[in-house]
Chains A and B, each alone.
Chain A
């Protein structure tokens, strides 16, 4: 049943995110192509202007993708699970855990696809801007070095894991906040925002208390929360902290949705 839930959730988010991502890649390609046409030419007034417009649109598309993703993550949970569509979703022969997991996994998937789309857009720009064979050589080199330099592979893996764990923890935090807000009959949205801020403050207090006990661990928690240290110990600490956050927030979300659901 989780597979079926995922199918519909991926479709529901994809019908909005996929076009944005495609526009993103297309704009980067158009920008790079236009810039290439200007190389070595003197009268490039129109082309230059066109390139600038495309670049502005490209940046706007990146911002739109980020904002839209945030809105969708909230909307798919707040409106489609805890709004009137909740009557459909919670009457399906599936468990509460499967419903939450389908939302989480789909959001992670579309965020990852977005990051890949961003990287592809970057490649498209660099690839078309530089002469193509040279670029391919660079890619080949990067690929080779990834598998010859142990450190690079390790660092890249760690980096991806830290980001992924952080993204999942952030999503769980949003879901828990919405589930807490759901407990308040009226002003559910407002209380969800309060809950999000309160959780943030609680996180800071915990980090501060830990830093009082063990200064170095405190630093790693702070760094784990704010950035992704590529040092093995720091990265593992950051992943560990994300894992703790994920456990706490998902248990809160599950308990509130399973035991204290009250659809409007």
Chain B
């Protein structure tokens, strides 16, 4: 197993507000990791620093041994928690866009998923429903044979049926020697697929363990244990 994501003393402040207070984290290939924490715990900030959408205030992050830049971006398949695709583009134009920029994009895989979801190739993104748009974003992200998948709240805001589809898509499509990091606060839905859990609380890691170990040591599910740790 290789270290694919490593954070050392990572800090990020927005003015006087500290979003990350010195994160040390090592994530290996072949693992599905849950980045778990309530809203405002720093999950998105950590992912954005890994994608070089933010600069850390202190410390560093390494992606497959390198500082974030064009090379690391070619290895990361990132799903933001926003509508990030140009809405005037049609499905087939979006496939072309991903194929043009990412050498690891697998068009056939994308086409299979599109047909199973019955999303027409000549449909403009603007005309898609919110749920379809989210599925489109997920299909494009998961159709890459990337080293690292960073999925920011992939199941928030969709109905339970769509949630199941999304999780099946993630499990069924990631590369075996890749690292998948799923950030969410909906633990119960993702618990079954996670190998490891990272609990993030107010910008600090309070726990990083294999999910089996958490269940063994506490006698609780990760979801139950999460509720205990983050009790208001």
A binding-site residues for B, Cβ under 8 Å: 1, 4, 7-8, 12, 15, 80, 84-88, 90-95, 185, 259-263
| B165 interface hit (Cβ, 8 Å) | no
Q: B85 to A88, Cβ gap below 8 A?
A: yes
Out of A15, A80, A91, A93, name the residue touching B53 (CB < 8 Å): A91
* Contact call A91/B55, Cβ cutoff below 8 A: no
Q: Taking the nearest CB of chain B, how far is it from the CB of A239, in angstroms?
A: 33
Contacts of B76 in A (CB 8 A): 91
Report how far A92 CA is from B84 CA in the complex, Å. Answer: 12
List, in ascending order, chain A residues with CB within 8 A of B97's CB: 8
A84-B83 contact, Cβ under 8 Å, with A91-B76, A92-B101, A261-B55:
yes
Task: State in angstroms the CA–CA spacing of A94 and B101 once bound together.
Answer: 9
CB-CB contacts of B46-88 with A at 8 A, as 1s and 0s? 0010011111000000000000011101101010101111101
Provide the residues of chain A in CB contact with B85, threshold 8 Å.
85, 88
Instruction: Name the distance in Å between A17's Cβ and chain B's nearest Cβ.
Output: 14
* A1, A80, A91: most-surrounded residue (chain B CB, <10 A): A91
- The verdict on B102 contacting chain A, using a C-beta distance below 8 Å, is yes
Partner of B73, one of A8, A84, A91, A262: A91
Q: Which of A4, A90, A262, A263 contacts B101 (CB under 8 A)?
A: A4
A235 CB to closest chain B CB (Å) equals: 39
Q: Is B216 an interface residue (CB 8 A)?
A: no
The answer to whether B51 and A91 touch across the interface, beta carbons within 8 angstroms, is yes
- Decide yes or no: A87 and B70 within 8 Å by CB, A92-B101, A93-B101, A261-B53 being known contacts: no
A262 touches B86 (CB 8 A): no
16 new A-B contacts at CB < 8 Å, known A1-B101, A92-B73: A4-B100, A8-B97, A80-B86, A84-B84, A86-B53, A87-B78, A87-B84, A88-B84, A91-B51, A91-B80, A93-B73, A93-B101, A94-B73, A260-B55, A262-B14, A262-B54
14 A-B pairs whose Cβ atoms sit less than 8 Å apart in the complex: A4-B101, A80-B86, A84-B80, A84-B83, A85-B84, A87-B84, A88-B86, A90-B51, A91-B53, A91-B78, A92-B101, A94-B73, A95-B69, A263-B53
- Docked Cα-Cα span, A195 to B86, in Å, equals 28
Residue ID in chain A nearest B82 by CB atoms: A84
Q: In the complex, what's the smallest C-beta–C-beta distance from B79 to chain A, in angstroms?
A: 9
Q: Which residue of A lies closest to B87 (CB)?
A: A85
Cβ of B52 and Cβ of A90 under 8 Å apart?
A: yes
Give B136-166 interface residues, CB cut-off 8 Å to A.
none
CB distance from A82 to the nearest CB of B (A): 11
CA–CA, A262 and B84, complex, Å: 15
